[in-house]
Amino acid sequence: MTDPAVSGRAPSPRPSGRRSRGIAALVRDHRTGWLVGSCALVFVLLGAASVYAGAAVGAPRAAPAPSASASPSATPSAAPSRPVPAAIPTPSRLRTCSIADLAADPRLAQFSGVVLKADTGETLFDRSAATPARTGSVLKLLTAAAAVNVLGPDYRLSTRVYAGAQPGTIALVGGGDATVSRLGAGQESFYQGAPKLSDLAAQTLRAWRQQHPGEKISHLVLDSTYWDPDDNWDPTWPRTEQTIGYQPEVTALQVDGDRADPTKSTSPRSTDPIGRAGQFFLEALHAADTTGVLASDVAVTQGAADSTAVQLGEVDSQPVATLIDQMLIVSDNTIAEMLARVVSKQEGMDGSSASLQGAITQGLQAYGIPTAGITIIDGSGESANNAVAPAYVAQLLVKILHRDQNLGVLYDGLPVAGRTGSLASRFTGPNAVARGHVVAKTGWIDTAYTLAGVVDAEDGTQLTFAFYAIGDDVQDNAKIALDTLATGVYTCGDNLANT
């Protein structure tokens, strides 16, 4: 018998005189023992059940018995492990603000577009965004991005004068700077701060007098061979763009973008920009000639300068960063086409219109966004045959917003809704709430209206977007529908849903 003092239990009451007290009495007198025994029995039964269940459901099959030749001490192969499920992705937050009805506006014709969250790249809204389509002047974003990469923001385009191989001959050589101006000192052309022909003329006469004392200038050669001067107009461009004044012929030598009025953005262009450049330079030479260096009758022809000739003068454009700003703010086609051709030349191509597909896409490679499917016909977006997916434009805008690789130059040149450039008069009425909060590139051709840029949303979220309204019957009122759509993005912010 166990000593109660050792067991810690009080002694059991002594049995009564009856020989049999029944099961209840036994349980009462030996409560702990019965409890332990019951638990043991349950454990055994549960263990057996689990073994049976494991054998019946999902358990691996037993490995085959080792052959008679196997070593008794060989370790049996481990049972194959169960497959481990992949990590469950973090669910996206539930968004409830919709612009689906705005995107279905019939004024947008065949609409495609996308909205990205700029800090993560997450797509918040998508309507056929991966499909390349005509861009209008939104294409200028690609031209500018290629120029910043290939040329650099500080690159300058030059217009030079050389002494000719023949006596009395000088050559005016264009290097793609269409901004050089015929206006005199103290006067500003449409391109504020542009170089002046008057400065180039003064340099030329001064150098000529030093190098050719007593000899008169009797022949002026106009050299526009930096690229083929006959490759100056894409057949998909309507000629009305030239006569109304949106687009000049694309020649490497021209003055004031070949505008009839050098102070106006939109001004009729001529059919002979090279000849007009020569006329204006000859006028500048006469104005600067105080010592009779010029012959009374100077012959003017077109051709190529002597490659070994001595330089007499040079004027340089403003830096590419400034040219891009001037191009984007008012959507200037002239600078866009010049930059595209110069990019081609600097990449070792021939500056032709046919080279622009390779030149621009090659210039965009540094930004790490795949360019497959992009079609480039020109630098300005005038052609309806240009094709870029809205998704590409929105991804490029993320890098522009973050100022990657000098792309901040582009962001600084974008028009601001209701404030500057081609957006100064837009975002009116109910859309005025987004004024100052949308910076974007506008686009327009006969069959497309486009808008692509950055939204600083009402909730503080930064979003990039690209919206295209395309169709043979699309009209000017598509601009209002695009503004309304962008305003919807501003209002929704991070709560924008792809519904």
Query: What b/e string do you get for 68-87 counting C-beta neighbours within 10 Å, with b at 16 or more?
Result: eeeeeeeeeeeeeeeeeeee
Average pLDDT, the chain: 87
Q: In the structure, what pLDDT confidence band is assigned to residue 91 with cuts at 50, 70 and 90? A: low
pLDDT above 90: percentage of residues in the chain: 80
Query: What b/e string do you get for 427-463 counting C-beta neighbours within 10 Å, with b at 16 or more?
Result: beeebeebbebbbbbbbbbebbbbbbbbbbbbeebbb
Phi, psi of 217 (to 5 degrees): -85, 120
Alpha-carbon span 368 to 312, nearest angstrom = 43
Look-up of token digits 């294409």: 139
For the entire predicted model, the pTM comes to 0.82
On the question of pLDDT at 18 being above 50, the answer is no
Q: Which amino acid, 362?
A: Q
Q: Find the mean pLDDT for residues 398-423.
A: 98
- pLDDT tens track for 256-282: 999 999 999 999 999 999 999 999 999
- pLDDT tens track for 471-483: 999 999 999 999 9
On the question of pLDDT at 138 being above 90, the answer is yes
- pLDDT tens track for 443-460: 999 999 999 999 999 999
Alpha-carbon span 21 to 357, nearest angstrom = 106
Alpha-carbon span 360 to 344, nearest angstrom = 8
